[in-house]
Amino acid sequence: MILGAGMVGITAALELQKRGYSVAVIDRRGPGEETSFGNAGVIQAEAVEPYAIPRDVDVLLNYALGRTNDLVYDWRALLRTAPVLLSYFRNSAPKQHKQASALYSQLVRRSTWDHEPLIEASGQHNLVQKSGYVHAYRSEKAFEQARQRADALAKNYGVGVKIEDGEALRLSEPALRRTLAGGISWTDAWTCTDPGGLTAGYAKLFIRRGGQMVRGDALSLRKTSAGWSVDTEEGVIDAAQAVVALGPWSADLLARLGYRLRMLLKRGYHGHFDSAIALNRPLMDAENGIVLSPMSRGLRIATGAALVDRDSPPVLRQLNHGEKVAADLIELGPRIKEPQWYGHRPCLPDMLPMIGRAPKHDGLWFDLGHGHQGFTLGPTSAVLLADAMEGKSEPLLSALAPAARPSVLL
């Protein structure tokens, strides 16, 4: 049984099913209705280096003084998560970050390749575009720095990059109202106009192939003599093996099983706008910490990170600022009325997803902590998880295994 029907859980279910296992997915909601619903929709084959905490003093000072839109925080939440943040900060040092990137890049570089057969088999080509993703810069200084970093990523990891100066960017994105300093076009990235829809479509494929999708409460998971049981709307479900893929809620279940998972939740919001002229690709307004993604339900503005308690009420400062600055770039149109969405990137402080056997329980597996790129990494993590469950061993699996991460899983 897989606990959690986000992109990570559904793709794990599909992979195990493909290898001949009988699989049930348990979720309290429908598939792809939480974090996998509301993201920016980019399958980020370019994101070879995981998102580190900046170590530049000026940047940190700007964060502390609330001068940026890409990160806001609540002091009390910050204090409560201090040990996780400290560990994340330490792992963001150049040497540790380089080591993490060497592993992370192996995952993201194959992500589109792992999505492809699922997109094909679920018949969802209409939701996925293969024309890349662009980071746009307003100032020459920021553009120049980004260009240098992009050149390094192209050289070190073979990432596809096209540099567009202000004129070229305006030509490739006629919806832009004015000429910016320039853009970095990440040509390997794929983008999706309905991330929740893609996840739900993968779930339909899983059901069509004989999988079972059931509503139930993962927190009812308990050990039995034969394996694991969970309560669902269709009665008790038993399985020899259970996989925790609960995204931002994973730590809740793990705590009941005697583990302390250090997870940092970075909240993000989105809103949709009925814009008359569409962007051709998702565009990150890098200096304002927002991504503008053309979606089937309108132009989606997705925000950066808010370090707040998971269950605290929404505060729309970043989204409102995002709306203001985006209106300066394109004809936004009116905001589409809908319930306010927000979700949490489930980040582990060593910036790697945790995939593999639970250290203290037989038949229990983890596939969680995908942070900023879970929509990208679901299918790739699924292959690694299934390999681990089948007893394969390789250096990448060992590095991602829960047992190898004593500072993250206590």
> Which residues of the shown chain bind ligand FAD in the complex (CB under 6 A)?
4-9, 26-29, 33-36, 39-42, 44, 217-219, 245-249, 268, 270, 302, 343, 345-346, 370-376
Measured from the CB atom, the residue of 182 and 247 that comes closer to ligand FAD is 247
Residue 44 amino acid letter: Q
Which ranges constitute the DSSP H helices of 351-393?
Answer: 374-389
Closest approach of Cβ 310 to ligand FAD, in Å?
A: 11
Measured from the CB atom, the residue of 35 and 101 that comes closer to ligand FAD is 35
Measured from the CB atom, the residue of 166 and 402 that comes closer to ligand FAD is 402
Closest approach of Cβ 116 to ligand FAD, in Å?
A: 15
Closest approach of Cβ 345 to ligand FAD, in Å?
A: 5
Opening angle at CA 60, ends 286 and 155, nearest 5:
50
Residues 220 and 218: their CA atoms lie apart, in Å, by: 5
Length of the chain: 410
Measured from the CB atom, the residue of 42 and 180 that comes closer to ligand FAD is 42
Residue 212 amino acid letter: Q
Measured from the CB atom, the residue of 34 and 287 that comes closer to ligand FAD is 34
Chain position carrying tokens 């575009």: 129
Residues 274 and 383: their CA atoms lie apart, in Å, by: 38
Measured from the CB atom, the residue of 5 and 332 that comes closer to ligand FAD is 5
Among positive and negative, which fits the CA dihedral 42, 46, 52, 58? negative
Task: Give the DSSP letter of residue 179.
Answer: -
Closest approach of Cβ 291 to ligand FAD, in Å?
A: 7
Measured from the CB atom, the residue of 39 and 275 that comes closer to ligand FAD is 39
Closest approach of Cβ 165 to ligand FAD, in Å?
A: 25
Residue 25 amino acid letter: V
Parallel, antiparallel, or unpaired for β 298-303 and 290-295? Answer: antiparallel
Sheet of strand 235-239, all strands in order from the earlier edge strand to the far edge: 222-223, 228-232, 235-239
Measured from the CB atom, the residue of 114 and 170 that comes closer to ligand FAD is 114
Closest approach of Cβ 271 to ligand FAD, in Å?
A: 11
CA neighbours within 13 Å on the CB side: how many for 52?
20
Measured from the CB atom, the residue of 170 and 366 that comes closer to ligand FAD is 366
Q: How far is C-alpha 243 from the geometric centre of its chain's CA atoms? A: 19
> What is the secondary structure of 250-307 as a DSSP string?
HHHHHHHTT--B--EEEEEEEEEE--SS--SS-EEEGGGTEEEEEETTEEEEEE-EEE
Q: How would you label 177-186 residue by residue, b for 16+ Cβ within 10 Å and e otherwise?
A: eeebbbbbbb
Q: How far is CA 201 from CA 248, 330, 370, in A?
A: 22, 31, 21
Chain position carrying tokens 């192939």: 209
CB 272 within 8 A of CB 325: no
Closest approach of Cβ 144 to ligand FAD, in Å?
A: 25
Closest approach of Cβ 245 to ligand FAD, in Å?
A: 6
Burial degree of 48 (CB within 10 A; 0-12, 13-18, 19+)? buried
Closest approach of Cβ 225 to ligand FAD, in Å?
A: 23
Closest approach of Cβ 215 to ligand FAD, in Å?
A: 8
Measured from the CB atom, the residue of 44 and 92 that comes closer to ligand FAD is 44
Q: How far is C-alpha 35 from the geometric centre of its chain's CA atoms? A: 8
